[in-house]
Amino acid sequence: MSTGNLRPVRLLTRSEVRDLLDWPGLIEAVAAALAATAGDSRAVADSAQLRVPGAALHLKSGAIFDPALLSVKANIRPDAGSADGLIVAFDPVGFAVRAVLDSAALTGMRTAAVAAVAARALAAPGPNEVAVIGTGPVGRNAITALAQTIEVSGLRLWSRGAGAAEDAAAHAAGLGIPATVCGTPGEAAAGAPVVLTATPARAPVLAAGSVRDDAVILAMGADTAGKRELGPGLLDDADLVADSPSDARTVGELGYLPAGRDPAEIVPLGRILSGQRPAGRGRRVVFDSVGSAVVDAACVALVLIAAAERGIGEFFDFGR
């Protein structure tokens, strides 16, 4: 029986993926991938979500061609609880499967890296106090990633579980960043020039009156229809930026644009990173991240290069 193009496929576990990624390399790969999405034919992507009772299946397909890699990520996201999923990596030149890897570590770290890239592009230079609302895997990773790209003078933390916020504060202390655990999201955001939200909320957790008029809000949590973190008024007069504007309008925070706001006002972050648009400063900026399949592909390529160099992962022959 013919096995077609099948050949041994590298299998990578969650801990192996985590160990193969380093923050400086990941952040720069994310920045380059986002810049490539600004009309660059070297990067193509598609995404979809399929609702099933109690959950949504997120499908993201993205391809880059330098280095050549196509990834398909399938994550099942329950309405309550943690997501689970896998990534299949293909060779888009030789038309073969290259690897299968766990998606959780890569998704959490690449989301934090996107926040760090956005902060570097959008936040004012100099020391910035940062509010982190939601200190689960994304929020905690974001603390580490943000410290790579902006000068974080201190952190104000809030989480639904006080223990998670305390753990995040201890993590920040290990990085040399002072942190305060706050009792409410509004208390955390008050006065902070940079505010990151990373919750699974389905009702707003952040009110307009709690946020500075010139704050940069990094909205990282809403990625499925029905999720929402930002309260009425926060989008009214803000500059709007997204990693994937069309997806953000469908499943992200920018699906709640108030009447009178033209979706065409949403600026792709890639256009700012590629120098096609300046980063506006002086009034509130909301950056909405729902995840880019091109970014996923770039991160997977980074993992596979490191895995090959270090000889990490097991091989399985699906064609036997």
| CATH number of the domain within which 215 lies | 3.40.50.720
Same domain, 81 and 133: no
Any domain includes 4: no
Q: What is the CATH number of the domain that holds 47?
A: 3.30.1780.10
Q: Tell whether 307 and 181 lie within a shared domain.
A: no
* Mean pLDDT score across all residues of the chain: 93
Is 2's pLDDT higher than 60?
no
Same domain, 301 and 270: no
Question: Listing from the earlier edge strand, what are the strands of the sheet with 84-91?
Answer: 43-52, 55-65, 68-78, 84-91, 96-102, 9-12, 314-316
Looking at the fold, whether 81 and 187 belong to one and the same domain comes out as no
Same domain, 62 and 182: no
The pLDDT > 90 percentage for the chain reads 83
Q: Would residue 56 count as lying in a domain? A: yes
SS3 49: strand
State whether 134 and 171 are in the same domain. Answer: yes
In a domain, 121, yes or no: yes
Q: Are residues 15 and 90 in the same domain?
A: yes
Q: Which positions ≥6 away from 82 have C-beta within 8 Å? A: 104
pLDDT at 1: 39
pLDDT confidence bin for 5, thresholds 50/70/90 = low
- Per-residue pLDDT tens digits for 137-187: 999 999 999 999 999 999 999 999 879 999 999 999 999 999 999 999 999
pTM for the whole thing?
0.93
Sign of CA dihedral 164, 117, 201, 229: positive
Answer yes or no: do 85 and 123 share one domain.
no
How far apart are the C-alpha atoms of 48 and 21, rounded to whole Å? 26
Dump pLDDT digits (tens) for 232-272. Answer: 999 999 999 999 999 999 999 999 999 989 999 999 999 99
CA 145 to CA 82: how far, in whole Å? 21
Does 127 fall in a domain?
Answer: yes
- Region 200-219: mean pLDDT is 95
Give the span between the Cα atoms of 193 and 303, in whole angstroms.
Answer: 33
Is 70 exceeded by the pLDDT of residue 12? yes
Q: Is residue 3 part of a domain?
A: no
Q: Which residue is associated with the tokens 């950056």?
A: 287
57: helix, coil or strand?
strand
Above 60 in pLDDT, residue 208? yes
190 lies in the same domain as 305: no
149 and 233 housed in the same domain:
yes
CB 177 within 8 A of CB 155: yes
Domain count, the chain: 2
Domain co-membership, 307 together with 191: no
User: Are residues 212 and 302 located together in one domain of the fold?
Assistant: no
Residue at 257 is within a domain:
yes
Burial class (CB in 10 A: 0-12, 13-18, 19+), 278: exposed
* Residue 306 contacts residue 17 (beta carbons within 8 Å): no
Q: Residue type for 138, please?
A: V
Give the chain's radius of gyration (CA, Å).
19
Residue range 130-150, pLDDT digits in tens: 999 999 999 999 999 999 999
In a domain, 1, yes or no: no
DSSP readout, 173-231? HHTT--EEE-SSHHHHHTT-SEEEE----SS--B-GGGS-TTPEEEE-S--STT---BP
Range of the domain at 99: 9-107+294-316
What's the pLDDT at 225? Answer: 85
Residue 2 maps to a domain: no
